Structures are given as structure tokens and as C-alpha cells.
Structure 1
Amino acid sequence: MREWLSWLSVEYADQIEMTLRLCGATIAGMLIGINRDIHNKPIGMRTLGLVGLGSAIVILSGSVYEGLHFGQDAVSRVVQGIMTGLGFLGAGAILRGRDQMQVQGLTTAATVWIAAGLGVTAGLGAWFITIAGTLVTLFLLTYGTRLERRLIRIFGNKPDAGDLED
């Protein structure tokens, strides 16, 4: 059995690595999405998992095709296209309030963008950045509002509770 696993890992090392990158991107997006689901936001675990996965698929297909490795400039253009396109997807989550002065959904739109970024880093195999980025994002989504309120109290400008974004 051990010999078979050893042969499999050597023979299909590239495919195993790509599968791990795709799974890492999906998991990073899903973790961010779980936070959004917990807070009853419109974009959740499945959507952000798919955003991360889609970004990783695009970056992998842009960097490796039929065994041909493209240069860094080609990968850079793929990343730019992903991040631009996801900006438009995220924009769909932004809504203007009735008074036309309050905007809602910016954090949700940002989570779409960050899930894409995490998908790109996982697709590139930048595991430390993927893990650290996921953890920092989860920290910010979990404790950001409390931290923001505390800092506003410390430094002066005290808005109403409803003025802080989601």
C-alpha cells in the first residue's frame, strides 16, 4: 500500500498540488462566508466558497496550460482581470438606503473581493498568505464593529449606533 501511495504522489504530484490549491481557496472563501451567514448577510458560505474556487481555477488555468508555464506578466494580467470582475459582482451587493445618505452592503461587497483574493493566493500556492489572510479577515469581520466603536469613543466622534456599517 505504501509503495502505491508513493508512486501515486510522485506520478500525479502536479494534479495533487492543484487539487490542494483549489480546496484551500474554497475553504478560505467558505470560512469568510460562514461569518457572513452567521450575521444574516446576503452573500454567504456557498457564494464566497465559489468565488474563492473560481479565482483559483482562473489563476491555475492562466499559469499552467497543457504543461506550458506562462510568465509572471501573464499571471499578473489574470489576477487583474479577476479582481476587476469581482469588483462588479461585489457592487451588486451594495444598496443605498431610503434617505440616499446611508449605504449598506459595503462589507459584504468587500468579502466578495477578499474571497477572490484568497482564491488567487491559494491558486498560486501562497499558503501562508491564504491562511493569514483568512484569519485576519475573520478577525476583522468578527471584532471589527466592536473595535471601531471603541476607537470612535476614544478619539471623539461619537456616531449613533446605526451609523456604523455592517
Structure 2
Amino acid sequence: MHWETVGQLAAAACLGTFVGLERELEAKWAGLRTHMLVALGSALFTIAGYDVVSSHTDPVRLAAQVASGIGFLGAGAIMRGGLTVHGLTTAATLWLTAAVGVAVGLHSWTPAVAATAITVVVLRVVKRAEERVSVVHPTVLLTADLAPGTSPDDIAGAIEERLPGSRTMKVTASASEVSLQMLVRPGPEETLAELSGRLLAIEGLTGVSLGGE
């Protein structure tokens, strides 16, 4: 038995544990066991690829196969409910954990450990920063009614000029009217009434409705 190989597999599962534990604490469906197995499987594919084919196997091709395979699992983590998309971060951590497993399989210990540590920091620390930004500048769902013949793209562009970072979510059209839904952030200390007045100054808008996301 090659104890070095066993150690690599154990190390990959261990590194997957750190990312998976964070997801488990956040009550995500892909938690501790899932991330451990993704890292372990990726390491096994990499090690087996080298052992079965040759020591000269192109590591880029091995990594590409693992990345394409993990894409199906990551896609299953993404769900959409109305205008909100859930699971993108978990899909990204699964993809990252697979990369860590490949790195371990290639004996790239420093990148594997560093990537795991940075991932945990991003998930725990950066999330707190995002939450603070959301509290200071909450996201608002905007529904804008357009005058006949007005281009939704032109209106969306005008709104993005006034509210940088806005995102178009949906355009709804019927025989009699066209409406545009976007996610926007009001300016600092700007009330919804003030924001409505600012948006209604845009030529081509006939009405706006604002509400929390």
C-alpha cells in the first residue's frame, strides 16, 4: 500500500472539511460530507490519472475533466425563486473544493492549503462586510412602467447612470404596456419618495413602484 497516496487522499478530505463546515454552519444543502467527498474524489481522479496513464499526463487535461464533472453538481446547487437566485456561493465552493482536491493530487500543497484558508476567510469575513453594506444601502425592487414606444434598454441605461450597480431582472410586455423590473440601491439617506421623484424625471417613464427585494 502506498501510504503517501493514502495521506494525500486524507489531506484532501481534511481540507474539504474546512470549507464544508462553513457551509454546514450556514445550513446549506451541500455541507460537510459533500465538500469532503468532492475534494476526495477530485484528488483520487488526479492520482489515478497519473498512475494509470503515465507520469507525463498533462495536469491541465486532468483538471479540465474534474472541472467539467463538478459543473453538474454545482448546477444542482443553484435554485431560482422569483427574482432571487440561491446557491451560487455553494456552487462556487464545490468548484473550489474540487480544485483543492486536484492540487493535493498533484502535490501542490501550498496552493491547496492557501486556497482553503482564503476561501474560509471569504465566506466568513467578506460575508459580514456584505451584510453591513446591505444594511447601509438596502436593495430595492423597482418596477417601472414605460410609455408606448419607449425602449426598455434605453430606460435601463438611464437608470443605471443615476444608480450605478443596478441590475435588470425582467421585462414584461403586453399589447398595451411595457414594464421593467430592476434591483436598485437608493443613494445614502435617500428616501423611497425621493428616489421615485428622481426616477420619474427620466423621459419615457410613466410610473414607478418601489419595494424591498
TM over 0.5: yes
Structure 2 gap ranges (5+): 141-182, 184-213
RMSD: 2.2
Equivalent residues of 1:21, 1:124 under 8 A apart: no
Match of 1:77 in 2: 61
Q: Deviations over 1:104-124 (max 9, x none)?
A: 010111111111011001111
**Post-superposition shift, 1:151?**
5.7
TM-score computed with the length of structure 1 as normaliser: 0.77
Larger radius of gyration: 2
**Post-superposition shift, 1:65?**
2.3
**Post-superposition shift, 1:81?**
0.8
Identity %: 38
| Residue 122 of structure 2, aligned match among 126, 132, 140 | 140
**Post-superposition shift, 1:126?**
0.7
CA distance in 2, matches of 1:159, 1:85: 37
> 2:19 aligned with 1:40, yes or no?
no
> 2:69 aligned with 1:90, yes or no?
no
TM-score computed with the length of structure 2 as normaliser: 0.61
CA distance in 2, matches of 1:153, 1:47: 32
Match of 1:21 in 2: 8
CA distance in 1, matches of 2:114, 2:135: 29
Which protein, 1 or 2, shows the higher relative CO under an 8 Å CA cutoff with sep ≥ 6? 1
Structure with more helix by fraction? 1
**Post-superposition shift, 1:77?**
1.1
Aligned residues: 141
**Post-superposition shift, 1:21?**
1.2
CA distance in 1, matches of 2:102, 2:34: 16
